[in-house]
């Protein structure tokens, strides 16, 4: 299978962490791509109408996106323990934590595009501030509501949350997410040592 890839994308990183955790990353061929909200990549759009990464194309040519669906697809391959609990409260907890992390990343990406893609004359400071607020409130939710889950499980929610904090270190090094969140910071320090996280450090 082939994956439209970007070494800086946190959503791609989440997919690759899942693949490594499940021992199937060797089955993925990475395709260079240039996803961008304005200058869209036609090679991705041939498979995914939004032109975003990650987009996976299976060996029979089926396109699979977005990252949530790709991660669940990868969970259906191979024999290693899955990252998606099959049913019940455990499943919904894991999926909601994944959504919290993904939505925090959406806010982080929108804040970043505001400075790297939008012309200065069209920027709106309050809108940017709103996205940054979402980052802080999600980090607080990790600390206050999810820390027990993070410390006790390895599932798709844990992976997504870890990757989202890694993205803050990569693109928002001054945001100070560790301030007042010592227990979360300690959890992340251990999580970041996983071989899957070390093998997928963002570049860009």
Ligand X SMILES: N[C@@H](CCC(=O)N[C@@H](CS)C(=O)NCC(=O)O)C(=O)O
Biggest CA pair distance of the chain: 53
* Contact residue for ligand X among 21, 25, 75, 102 (CB under 6 A): 102
Type and span of the H or E element at 63: strand 63-64
Task: State the minimum distance, in angstroms, from the CB of residue 152 to ligand X.
Answer: 25
Residue among 1, 16, 20, 52 that touches ligand X (CB under 6 A): 52
Strand 63-64's sheet: what is its strand order? 29-32, 2-5, 55-57, 63-64
117 — phi, psi (to 5°)? -115, -30
**Among the listed residues 21, 48, 51, 84, the single contact to ligand X using CB under 6 A:** 51
Binding of ligand X by 109 (CB under 6 A):
yes
Query: How many other C-beta atoms can be found within 10 angstroms of the C-beta atom of residue 124?
Result: 10
Nearer to ligand X, 51 or 157 (CB): 51
Can residue 110 be called a binding residue for ligand X (CB under 6 A)? no
Query: Does 49 engage in binding with ligand X (CB under 6 A)?
Result: no
Instruction: State the Cα–Cα distance between residues 54 and 57, nearest whole angstrom.
Output: 10
Size of the site for ligand X (CB under 6 A): 15
> CA 66, CA 120: separation in Å to the nearest integer?
30
Site residues for ligand X, window 15-44 (CB under 6 A)? 35-37
Residues that bind ligand X (CB under 6 A): 9-11, 35-37, 51-54, 66-68, 102, 109
């Amino acid at each position: 299978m082939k994956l439209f890839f970007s070494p800086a994308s946190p959503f791609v990183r989440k997919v690759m962490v899942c693949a490594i955790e499940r021992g199937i990353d060797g089955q993925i061929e990475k395709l260079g791509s240039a996803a961008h909200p304005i200058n869209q990549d036609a090679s991705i759009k041939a498979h995914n109408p939004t032109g975003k990464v990650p987009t996976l194309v299976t060996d029979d040519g089926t396109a699979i996106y977005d990252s949530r669906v790709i991660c669940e697809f990868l969970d259906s391959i191979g024999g290693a323990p899955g990252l998606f609990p099959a049913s019940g409260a455990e499943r919904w907890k894991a999926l909601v934590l994944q959504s919290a992390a993904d939505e925090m990343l959406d806010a982080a990406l929108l804040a970043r595009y505001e400075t790297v893609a939008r012309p200065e004359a069209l920027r709106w400071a309050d809108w940017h501030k709103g996205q940054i607020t979402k980052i802080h409130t999600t980090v607080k939710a990790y600390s206050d509501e999810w820390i027990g889950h993070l410390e006790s499980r390895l599932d798709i929610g844990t992976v997504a949350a870890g990757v989202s904090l890694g993205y803050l270190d990569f693109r928002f090094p001054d945001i100070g997410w560790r301030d007042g969140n010592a227990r979360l910071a300690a959890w992340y320090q251990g999580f970041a040592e996983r071989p899957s996280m070390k093998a997928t450090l963002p570049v860009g």
